[in-house]
Amino acid sequence: MPSHATADFRPQAAATVTEVYRQASAPLVLRGRSQIGRFFEGFELVAPGLVQPASWRPDGTGPASPSAGGFYSGVGRMSQTEHAGRMLIDRRGEMTIGRKVVSD
């Protein structure tokens, strides 16, 4: 369940936080909903979709008015067909295509 910071909900607070991060060693990258949605391309976005973390409940029982927040969260599911054709690197560093291990 990835989540990503955004300025969509509280732009003034986001501007303040962004200014603080300009003085830090790690940059802050805020993205809007459509930009974050692109991270889920190739996946089926599970309901309720891309929402604030407090609202993400698969059974729909999230709060009617989530907290102020500054993030979007979502869960993406890859279909078996998509998964079978993707190249993956497992924890041991072995490359796999679908379920077949490919060795050098």
Torsion over CA: 42, 69, 56, 91 (sign): positive
Mean pLDDT of 70-92: 69
- Please tell me the pTM assigned to this model: 0.66
Mean pLDDT of 89-101: 52
Kindly report, residue by residue over 42-72, the tens digit of the pLDDT: 888 998 899 988 888 777 676 666 565 789 9
Nearest residue to 86 (alpha-carbon basis) of 41, 28, 31, 19:
41
The mean predicted confidence, pLDDT, of the chain is 77
Query: CA–CA separation, 78 vs 85, rounded Å?
Result: 11
User: What per-residue confidence (pLDDT) applies to 11?
Assistant: 92
Query: CA–CA separation, 76 vs 3, rounded Å?
Result: 12
Say if residues 68 and 9 touch (Cβ distance below 8 Å).
Answer: yes
Kindly report, residue by residue over 26-39, the tens digit of the pLDDT: 888 999 999 999 98
Say if residues 7 and 15 touch (Cβ distance below 8 Å).
Answer: yes
